A and B are shown apart, each in its own frame.
Chain A
Amino acid sequence: MRKGLIVDDAAVMRMRLRDILSSKYSIAGEAENGRQAIELYRAYKPDFVTMDISMAEMNGMEALKGLIAEFPEAKIVMVSAVGQKAQVFEALSHGAKDFIIKPFEPERVLLAIERLFEG
Chain B
Amino acid sequence: MRAEYANPFITAAITTFQKELKVKLNRNAINVKEAPVPSKQVSIIIGVTGMVKGQVVYSMDDNVAFAVAKAMLPDKLPAELRKLTNSAVSELANIITGQASIILAGESQKIEITPPAVICGGASSIDFLSLQTICLSFLSEIGSLEINIALTEAAI
A residues near B (Cβ < 8 Å) are 9-13, 15-16, 54-56, 80-87, 101-103
A12-B69, A16-B72, A102-B98 known, 18 other contacts, Cβ within 8 Å: A10-B90, A10-B94, A11-B87, A12-B91, A15-B84, A54-B98, A54-B112, A81-B94, A81-B95, A82-B98, A82-B101, A82-B112, A82-B113, A84-B101, A84-B111, A86-B110, A87-B110, A101-B98
C-alpha gap A10/B95 in the complex (Å): 11
C-alpha gap A80/B115 in the complex (Å): 12
Asked if B97 CB lies within 8 Å of chain A CBs, one says: yes
Residues of B near A11 (CB, < 8 A) are 84, 87
**Would you call A10 and B107 a contact (CB within 8 A)?**
no
Closest to B98 in A: A81
Binary per-residue interface labels of chain B (81-110) against chain A in the complex, 1 for a CB within 8 Å, 0 otherwise: 000100110110011011101100101111
Closest to A14 in B: B87
C-alpha gap A16/B115 in the complex (Å): 19
Query: How many chain-B residues does the 8 Å CB contact rule pick out?
Result: 29
Residues of B near A56 (CB, < 8 A) are 115
Closest to B103 in A: A84
Binary per-residue interface labels of chain B (134-156) against chain A in the complex, 1 for a CB within 8 Å, 0 otherwise: 00000000000000000000000
**Would you call A15 and B73 a contact (CB within 8 A)?**
yes
Residues of B near A81 (CB, < 8 A) are 94-95, 97-99, 113
Closest to A84 in B: B105
C-alpha gap A85/B102 in the complex (Å): 8
C-alpha gap A11/B69 in the complex (Å): 11
C-alpha gap A15/B88 in the complex (Å): 11
**Nearest CB of chain A from residue B5's CB, rounded to whole Å:** 15
Nearest 4 CB-CB pairings of A with B: A81-B98, A10-B91, A103-B19, A11-B87
C-alpha gap A1/B114 in the complex (Å): 36
User: A12 contacts which of B19, B84, B102 (Cβ < 8 Å)?
Assistant: B84
C-alpha gap A55/B94 in the complex (Å): 11
User: B102 contacts which of A55, A83, A103 (Cβ < 8 Å)?
Assistant: A83
**Nearest CB of chain B from residue A19's CB, rounded to whole Å:** 8
Residues of B near A82 (CB, < 8 A) are 98, 101, 112-113
**Nearest CB of chain A from residue B74's CB, rounded to whole Å:** 11
Binary per-residue interface labels of chain B (1-42) against chain A in the complex, 1 for a CB within 8 Å, 0 otherwise: 000000000000001100110000000000000000000000
**Would you call B94 and A54 a contact (CB within 8 A)?**
yes
**B100-133: which have CB < 8 Å to A?**
101-102, 105, 107-115
